[in-house]
């Protein structure tokens, strides 16, 4: 994994948007894997600006988000579908039918997970996967565990993730305890991966600099990806 240190969050967001923009320009029908959370917000803002300036055209783009909380529907302001509409999708011309976010309200969760994997395969896989990283080393909602979980499935969120994400909810009790998340194999199958980490992730980034690879630090698998870059903002 190639780690690029940049001085602040603004630079992180500008570089990340430039990498995604280059992908869209090189391959206008790219399949993008997208993340939610605070870290990519600046990147999405820059992409929206590039679209408004006429630099980018999203009309042939397909997107797959990493995860969604179980129980939260598309209209729920705490859900990730809503987040993506609010930060990116409402402002650019991605055809609605090309937008994919796991359905947190699916009655048959196993079917939803298997179908999500099939949809990614039918789209011929992900060209560029954007990732954030949790303080506990999670990617998507692949939480620290005894093994790496490969495919999209329902996951139990750890206490530390619930604690970290309660800022988006009225209280920790309101944070759903489970989510649908793509798996490690799904992420590792992307042709290119771009990981964003701000200063609040300094501790986990330090761990990732060593060559250990363990399911206790899911992001450590990224060392084995042939085309993975992390942008770390030292003073974000
Ligand atoms: C969300 C996701 C998570 C976040 C991670 C960091 O779709 O995939 O892995 O990227 O929890 O979140 P922030 O950026 O809020 O620190």
* 235 domain-assigned: no
- Number of structural domains the chain divides into: 1
Distance 52 CA to ligand 1 centre (A): 26
* 41 domain-assigned: yes
Q: Which of 65, 98, 136, 165 is catalytic?
A: 136
Per the annotation, the verdict on 100 as an active-site residue is no
| Confidence band for 235, pLDDT divided at 50, 70 and 90 | confident
Q: Hey, which of 133, 152, 169 would you mutate to test ligand 1's pocket, going by the most ligand atoms within 8 Å of its Cβ?
A: 133
pLDDT 10s digits, 159-209: 999 999 999 999 999 999 999 999 999 999 999 999 999 989 999 999 999
* 171 domain-assigned: yes
* 110 domain-assigned: yes
**Token digits of residue 189:** 């199958």
* 56 domain-assigned: yes
Q: Which strand ranges, in their side-by-side order, compose the sheet holding 31-34? A: 2-6, 228-233, 192-197, 128-131, 31-34, 62-65, 99-100
Q: What proportion of the chain, given as a percentage, has pLDDT over 70? A: 100
Per the annotation, the verdict on 138 as an active-site residue is yes
Residue 7 near residue 235, CB atoms below 8 Å: yes
pLDDT 10s digits, 2-49: 999 999 999 999 999 999 999 999 999 999 999 999 999 999 999 999
Q: What is the mean pLDDT of the chain?
A: 96
What CATH number should be reported for the domain holding residue 128? 3.40.50.1360
Parallel, antiparallel, or unpaired: how do β-strands 128-131 and 99-100 relate? Answer: unpaired
Output the CA–CA distances (angstroms, integers) from residue 105 to 35, 173, 178, in the order listed. 19, 19, 12
Residue 101 near residue 81, CB atoms below 8 Å: yes
The domain containing residue 131 runs over which residues? 2-200
* 217 domain-assigned: no
* 216 domain-assigned: no
Residue 236 pLDDT exceeds 70: no
pLDDT 10s digits, 132-144: 999 999 999 999 9
Per DSSP, the three-state class of 171 is: coil
* 215 domain-assigned: no
């Amino acid at each position: 994994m190639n780690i690029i240190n940049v001085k602040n969050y603004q630079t992180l967001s500008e570089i990340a948007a430039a990498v995604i923009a280059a992908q869209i320009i090189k391959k206008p029908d790219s399949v993008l894997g997208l993340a939610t959370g605070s870290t990519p917000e600046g990147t999405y803002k820059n992409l929206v600006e590039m679209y408004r300036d006429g630099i980018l055209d999203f009309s042939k783009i397909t997107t797959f988000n990493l995860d969604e909380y179980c129980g939260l529907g598309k209209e729920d302001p705490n859900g990730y579908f809503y987040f993506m509409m609010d930060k990116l999708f409402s402002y650019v011309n991605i055809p609605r039918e090309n937008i994919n976010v796991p359905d947190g309200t699916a009655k048959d969760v196993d079917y939803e997970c298997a179908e999500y994997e099939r949809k990614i395969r039918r789209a011929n896989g992900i060209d560029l996967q954007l990732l954030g990283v949790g303080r506990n080393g999670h990617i998507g909602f692949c939480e620290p565990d005894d093994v790496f979980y490969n495919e999209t499935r329902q996951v139990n969120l750890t206490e530390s993730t619930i604690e970290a994400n309660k800022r988006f909810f009225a209280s920790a009790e309101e944070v759903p305890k489970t989510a649908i998340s793509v798996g490690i194999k799904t992420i590792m199958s992307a042709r290119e991966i771009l990981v964003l980490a701000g200063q609040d992730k300094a501790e986990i980034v330090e761990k990732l600099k060593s060559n250990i690879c363990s399911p206790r630090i899911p992001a450590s698998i990224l060392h084995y990806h042939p085309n993975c870059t992390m942008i770390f903002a030292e003073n974000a």
